[in-house]
C-alpha cells in the first residue's frame, strides 16, 4: 500500500471553452498563492510570457516560455488557447525518509491547453511558483531545445556555481563548486552554471531557481540570459558517441552530442521549472517544493528501506591504529569497522573504492572475502554497502544487482556519473527501479542535484552534488563559508552526501589539506552540528574508528542523531553567515547551529518544544576553540518550552543539542 495519499476536495473553476477558444492576442491569466502574497501572470500574445510578484514587489519580469521540436515547430509561438482550468488544492503528503513525516501540500493551479496538443501547468505556493510543459501526441517527440527564462527587473546579486569543466564537454562535471557571489550583470558570458542558484532581492527577499520531476529529459543548467539581468536555461545535447575514461576508467565521456536534447514520448509531462521565494533567509532552510513536485512513489512496500548511518573507510584512508593486523582494504579491517559500528549503534559499513579490481564490479581483490564480511556483519545486525563506479555498473547492471542482493548486500554507492543529459538521467531511473526490485538501496555520489527521485523511488537515500568534506583532503576552500551557504541553496533540491564527522579540527591558520590524515576547517562542534543541520537519510561518519573511540562524547552524540525526522523547524539564519535548525524524532529534539569564520552570539528560541520539562545535552565551542578547534564543552541542563538560550559560536564554530523529556 502506498504511503503517499491524496485524499482531497478540489474546488475547480472551469472557464467555458467557448469563452477562451482561439483566445485573442494579449489575453492573460493570473494565479495567486493561497496566502495571496505571490502573484503569477501569464500573457498569451505572439508568444507566452510569465511574470511573478511577491508582496507587490517584482520578482520575475515578463519572461518567454517556449519549446522547439524537430523540423522547427515551436510550442509557444503564436499560441492559441483551447481550454483553461483553475484548481485550489489543499492536501497532505505522507513523506518517506524525509525531514518531516507529513507535508502540507497547499497550492493553486492553472492548466492551459493549447492547439497543437500541448499545454502548460502553473502552480503557486506560499513558498514559490512552478510551471511545466505537457504534450499529448501519438508519436514520439524530438526536443531540439526548451526556452526557460528568468528575467529579473534589476541587477541583483546572485549566488552561482559555475560548471568549470576542465575537459572538452562543459556538461560533464561533478556538480560541486564554490558559489560566486556577484551581480547578475557580471556572470561570465557563454559559461554555464548548475542549479540551484540563489538571487538576492530587495527587502531581504530571495529567489532560488531549480527543477523537479526530471525524468527522460536532460537537467537544466543556467547561463546569462538574452536580456539584462537575466538567467536562462541551457541543456546538454543527447550523447551520440562516448568513450571510457576518467578516474580509473570508471566514467563514460561524451565525445559527440546531437543537435537535440531529448527523444521522448509524445504524451507526457515535462520537468517542473521552479522559483522558490522567501521573505526571510531562514525560510529556505525548511522548504519542500522539490519533494512536493516530484512524482509519487512507485514502490508499494517500503518497509525494507532503512536509512541510517555508515562507518566509512575512504575519507580517513583506512588509518586505524592499535590493532594487530595491517589496516587497509582487507577482510580484517572491515570486520573491525563492523565491531565499531555495533559498539556505537551505527547501522552500516561501506566498502568504498578498492574492494573490486579496477574497472570491475563482479569480482573482488584477493584480500577481500566478501562472503565472510557480509556474514560477519549480518550476524551482528550491521548492513554492508558496496561502492561502484558508474560504467562497470551500467555495463553489468542486471547481473550485479542480482548477485549482490542474493549475497545480502544492503545497498550500493554509485559514483562518477558526472552528467545529467537525457541518457544519464535514464540511467538513474533504470537503476533505481531495478535496485528496488532487488531490495537494494542507492546512494548517488558523483551525481547531479536531486530533483525528487528520492520520493519516486524511496530506495534512493542520498545524493552528492555538493562540495563535501572530501574536498578538505586536497583543497583550501573556505569551508565554513561554504557550509553556511549550501543549506540555503543546494539543500533546497534535497539531501546531500556531504559526509561530515571529522575529529581532527583546525582553525583557519592551522588548517592544512592532507590526503591521508585529513582535518576539517572549523571547530569540533561545527562538525557535530552538521549531522542535524544537513539533510542526509544515509549519512556517513567520515573519520576512522580509532579517532571516534578516542572521542567517546562526540561519537555518542553523532550516533544518537537520526537521519530522518518527524518535524523540522527553521530557527534562524542568514545566507553565508550562520544557520540554526531544530528537528524532532518522536519526542526527542535535535538542534544544530553553525557559523562562518566570524564568531557570533545567537539566541536559540525553544518555543518549538511542547509544554513540559526537558533535559538538554549540549555541545558548545570551548573557551579556547578559536585557538584549538577541537576544544568543546559538554553540559547537561534543564530547559522548558519558550526559554531563550544564549549561545556563543567561535570562529568557524557550532552549537548542538539533544533535548528530551525529563524523567
Residues recognised as catalytic: 415, 470
Q: Where are the beta strands (DSSP E) in 486-577?
A: 505-506, 520-521, 538-541, 567-574
Exposure string over 243-259, b if 16+ CB within 10 A, otherwise e: eeebeeebbbbbeebbe
Helix (H), strand (E) at residue 435 = helix 422-437
Angle, vertex CA 227, rays to CA 238 and CA 135, nearest 5: 40
Q: How far apart are CA 247 and CA 509, in angstroms?
A: 32
Distances (CA, A) of 359 to 247, 352, 417: 10, 13, 14
- 3-class SS of residue 329: coil
Residues 6+ apart with CB under 8 A from 16: none
All cell numbers assigned to 633 = 564543552
Of 494, 59, 445, 432, the closest CA to residue 287 belongs to: 494
Residue 27: exposed, middle, or buried by beta-carbon count in 10 A (0-12, 13-18, 19+)?
middle
Q: Which three cell numbers stand for residue 199?
A: 538571487
What does the angle CA 319 – CA 320 – CA 325 come to, to the nearest 5 degrees? 110
CA distance 384 to 372: 11
Contacts of 303 (CB under 8 A, 6+ apart): none
Query: Cell digits for 555?
Result: 561519537
For residue 8, give the nearest of 74, 105, 97 by alpha carbon: 105
Report residue 102 as a C-alpha cell. Answer: 507529513
Straight-line distance from the first to the last Cα atom of the chain, in angstroms, rounded to the nearest whole number: 38
Peptide linkage before 196 cis (omega within 30 of 0): yes
Residue 31 DSSP code: E
Bridge partners, 583 (sequence order): 568, 590
Q: Which of 252, 254, 250 has the alpha carbon at shortest distance from 389?
A: 250
CA distance 511 to 502: 13
Q: From the CA atom positions of the chain, what is the Rg in Å?
A: 25
Is residue 319 classed exposed, middle or buried when 0-12, 13-18 and 19+ CB atoms within 10 A define those classes?
middle
Question: 4: which 3 cell numbers?
Answer: 503517499
Nearest in space to 128 (alpha carbons), one of 274, 282, 295 = 274
Q: Cell numbers 567517546 correspond to what residue?
A: 552
How big is the CA angle at 394 (ends 391 and 397), to the nearest 5 degrees?
140
Instruction: Name 324's Cβ contacts closer than 8 Å, sequence gap at least 6.
Output: none
Q: Quote the CA–CA distance of 149 and 161 in Å, as a whole number.
A: 18
> How many alpha carbons fall within 13 Å on the CB side of residue 663?
0
Read off the C-alpha cell for 420. 545529467
SS3 340: helix
Amino acid at each position: 500500500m502506498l504511503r503517499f495519499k491524496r485524499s482531497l476536495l478540489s474546488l475547480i473553476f472551469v472557464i467555458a471553452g467557448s469563452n477562451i477558444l482561439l483566445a485573442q492576442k494579449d489575453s492573460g491569466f493570473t494565479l495567486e498563492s493561497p496566502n495571496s502574497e505571490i502573484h503569477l501572470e501569464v500573457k498569451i500574445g505572439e508568444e507566452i510570457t510569465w511574470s511573478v510578484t511577491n508582496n507587490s514587489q517584482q520578482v520575475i519580469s515578463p519572461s518567454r516560455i517556449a519549446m522547439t521540436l524537430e523540423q522547427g515547430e515551436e510550442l509557444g509561438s503564436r499560441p492559441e488557447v483551447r481550454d483553461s482550468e483553475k484548481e485550489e488544492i489543499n492536501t497532505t503528503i505522507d513523506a518517506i525518509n524525509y525531514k518531516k513525516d507529513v507535508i502540507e501540500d497547499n497550492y493553486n493551479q492553472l492548466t492551459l491547453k493549447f492547439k497543437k496538443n500541448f499545454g502548460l501547468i502553473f502552480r503557486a505556493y506560499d513558498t514559490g511558483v512552478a510551471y511545466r510543459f505537457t504534450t499529448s501526441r501519438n508519436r514520439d517527440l524530438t526536443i531540439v531545445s526548451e526556452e526557460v527564462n528568468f528575467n529579473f527587473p534589476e541587477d541583483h546579486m546572485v549566488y552561482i556555481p559555475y560548471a568549470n569543466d576542465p575537459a572538452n564537454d562543459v556538461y560533464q562535471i561533478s556538480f560541486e563548486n564554490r558559489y560566486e557571489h556577484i551581480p547578475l550583470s557580471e556572470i561570465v558570458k557563454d559559461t554555464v552554471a548548475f542549479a540551484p542558484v540563489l538571487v538576492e532581492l530587495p527587502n531581504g527577499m530571495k529567489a532560488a531557481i531549480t527543477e523537479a520531476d526530471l525524468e527522460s529529459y536532460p537537467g537544466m543548467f543556467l547561463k546569462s540570459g538574452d536580456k539584462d539581468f537575466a538567467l536562462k536555461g541551457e541543456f546538454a545535447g543527447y550523447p551520440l558517441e562516448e568513450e571510457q575514461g576518467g578516474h580509473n576508467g570508471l566514467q563514460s565521456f561524451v565525445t559527440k552530442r546531437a543537435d537535440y536534447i531529448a527523444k521522448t514520448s509524445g504524451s507526457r509531462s515535462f520537468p517542473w521549472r521552479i522559483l522558490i521565494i522567501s521573505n526571510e533567509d531562514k525560510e529556505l532552510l525548511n522548504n519542500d517544493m522539490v519533494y512536493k513536485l516530484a512524482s509519487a512513489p512507485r514502490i508499494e512496500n517500503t518497509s525494507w528501506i532503512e536509512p541510517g548511518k555508515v562507518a566509512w573507510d575512504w575519507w580517513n584512508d583506512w588509518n586505524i591504529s592499535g590493532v594487530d593486523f595491517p589496516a587497509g582494504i582487507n577482510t580484517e579491517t572491515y570486520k573491525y569497522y563492523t565491531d565499531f559500528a555495533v559498539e556505537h549503534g551505527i547501522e552500516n559499513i561501506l566498502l568504498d573504492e578498492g574492494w573490486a579490481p579496477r574497472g570491475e564490479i563482479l569480482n573482488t581483490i584477493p584480500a577481500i572475502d566478501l562472503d565472510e564480511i557480509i556474514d560477519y556483519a549480518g550476524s551482528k545486525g550491521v548492513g554492508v554497502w558496496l561502492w561502484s563506479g558508474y560504467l562497470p555498473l551500467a555495463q553489468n547492471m542486471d547481473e550485479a544487482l542480482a548477485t549482490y542482493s542474493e549475497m545480502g548486500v544492503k545497498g550500493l554507492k554509485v559514483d562518477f556519473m558526472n552528467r545529467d543529459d537525457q541518457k544519464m538521467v535514464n540511467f538513474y531511473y533504470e537503476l533505481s527501479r531495478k535496485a528496488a526490485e532487488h531490495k537494494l538501496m542507492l546512494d548517488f555520489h558523483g551525481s547531479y542535484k536531486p530533483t525528487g527521485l528520492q520520493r519516486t523511488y524511496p530506495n534512493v537515500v542520498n545524493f552528492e552534488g555538493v562540495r563535501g568534506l572530501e574536498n578538505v583532503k586536497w583543497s583550501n576552500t573556505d569551508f565554513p563559508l561554504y557550509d553556511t551557504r549550501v543549506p540555503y541553496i543546494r539543500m533546497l533540491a534535497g539531501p546531500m552526501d556531504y559526509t561530515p564527522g571529522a575529529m581532527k579540527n583546525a582553525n583557519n591558520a592551522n588548517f592544512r589539506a592532507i590526503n591521508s590524515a585529513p582535518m576539517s576547517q572549523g571547530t569540533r562542534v561545527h562538525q557535530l552540528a552538521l549531522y542535524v543541520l544537513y539533510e542526509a537519510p544515509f549519512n556517513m561518519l567520515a573519520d576512522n574508528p580509532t579517532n571516534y573511540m578516542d572521542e567517546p562524547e562526540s561519537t555518542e552524540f553523532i550516533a544518537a542523531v537520526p537521519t530522518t525526522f518527524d518535524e523540522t523547524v527553521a530557527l534562524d539564519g542568514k545566507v553565508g553567515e550562520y544557520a540554526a535548525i531544530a528537528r524532532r524524532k518522536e519526542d526527542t529534539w535535535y538542534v544544530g547551529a553553525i557559523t562562518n569564520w566570524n564568531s557570533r552570539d545567537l539566541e536559540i528560541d525553544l518555543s518549538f518544544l511542547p509544554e513540559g520539562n526537558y533535559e538538554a545535552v549540549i555541545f558548545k565551542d570551548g573557551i579556547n576553540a578559536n585557538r584549538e578547534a577541537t576544544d568543546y564543552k559538554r553540559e547537561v541542563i534543564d530547559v522548558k518550552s519558550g526559554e531563550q538560550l544564549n549561545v556563543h559560536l567561535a570562529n568557524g564554530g557550532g552549537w548542538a543539542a539533544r533535548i528530551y523529556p525529563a524523567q
